[in-house]
Structure 1
Amino acid sequence: MNPPNTNLRAFNLAVQTLLKTPSQFLPHLTIPTITHLPEDLSTALQQQQQQQQQQQQKTNDTNNDLPKPKPITIRALVLDKDNTLCPAKTTSFPPQIFEKLHALRTSPTSPFNQTHHPDAILIVSNRAGSHPRYEAEVVDIEDRLSGLKIPVFRLGEGGAKKPFCGAEVLAWFKERGVVSGADEIAVVGDRLGTDVLMAARMGAWSVWCRDGITEGVDPKIGRPGMNLLEKMEVWVERYLRESKGLKAPAPQGWRGSNDQ
Structure 2
Amino acid sequence: MAPLLNTNLQAFNLTVSTLLKQPSHLLPNLTISTFLDLPEQIGAHLPSRSPNEGEKPNIKALILDKDNTLCPPNTTSIPTPYLQKLEQLRTSPTSPFNLKTNPDGVLIVSNTAGSRPGSRRYENEARTLEEKLRYLRIPVFRVRSSSEGGDGGVITRPDEVVVVGDRLGTDTLMAAQMGSWSVWCKDGVTHSVSNEPGMDYRGFLAKVEIVLERYLRETKGVKVRVPKGWE
| Band of TM-score, shorter chain | 0.7 to 0.9
Q: What is the CA distance between 1:67 and its match in structure 2?
A: 4.6
Q: In the aligned structure 1, how far is the partner of 2:138 from the partner of 2:112?
A: 17
> Pick from 89, 92, 100: which aligns with 1:115?
100
Do the aligned residues in 2 keep the contact of 1:5 with 1:127 (CA within 8 Å)? no
Q: Which residue of 2 aligns with 1:156?
A: 144
Moved more, 32-41 or 226-235: 226-235
Q: Which residue of 2 aligns with 1:25?
A: 26
Do the aligned residues in 2 keep the contact of 1:122 with 1:151 (CA within 8 Å)? yes
SS state at 2:209 partner: helix
Q: In the aligned structure 1, how far is the partner of 2:33 from the partner of 2:86?
A: 16
Matched, 1:182 2:161: no
Q: Which residue of 2 aligns with 1:162?
A: none
Matched, 1:208 2:193: no
> Pick from 222, 225, 229: which aligns with 1:249?
225
- The Cα offsets for residues 156-189 of structure 1, whole Å up to 9 and x where unpaired, read as 1369xxxxxxxx9xx65xx03x111100000000
Q: What is the CA distance between 1:247 and its match in structure 2?
A: 2.8
Do the aligned residues in 1 keep the contact of 2:26 with 2:172 (CA within 8 Å)? yes
Instruction: Spell out the pairing of 1:86-235 with structure 2 (5 A cutoff).
Output: 86-131=71-116, 132=119, 133-157=121-145, 172=151, 175-176=152-153, 178-214=154-190, 224-235=200-211
Amino acid at match of 1:246: V
SS state at 2:43 partner: helix
* Root-mean-square deviation over aligned CA pairs: 2.4
Matched, 1:80 2:65: yes
Q: Which aligned segments of 4 or more residues in structure 1 are displaced greater than 4 angstroms?
A: 2-6
- The Cα offsets for residues 33-75 of structure 1, whole Å up to 9 and x where unpaired, read as 00100000010113xx58xx8xxxxxxxxxxxx5536431100
Do the aligned residues in 1 keep the contact of 2:68 with 2:189 (CA within 8 Å)? yes
> Pick from 41, 51, 68: which aligns with 2:53?
68
Q: In the aligned structure 1, how far is the partner of 2:24 from the partner of 2:39?
A: 23
Do the aligned residues in 1 keep the contact of 2:46 with 2:56 (CA within 8 Å)? no
Q: What is the CA distance between 1:226 and its match in structure 2?
A: 2.8
5+ residue gaps, structure 1 = 54-65, 160-167, 216-222
SS state at 1:7 partner: helix
Higher helix share: 1
5+ residue gaps, structure 2 = 192-198
Q: In the aligned structure 2, how far is the partner of 1:14 from the partner of 1:82?
A: 19
Do the aligned residues in 1 keep the contact of 2:190 with 2:201 (CA within 8 Å)? no
Amino acid at match of 1:27: P
How many residues are paired up? 219
Q: What is the CA distance between 1:225 and its match in structure 2?
A: 4.1
Identity %: 52
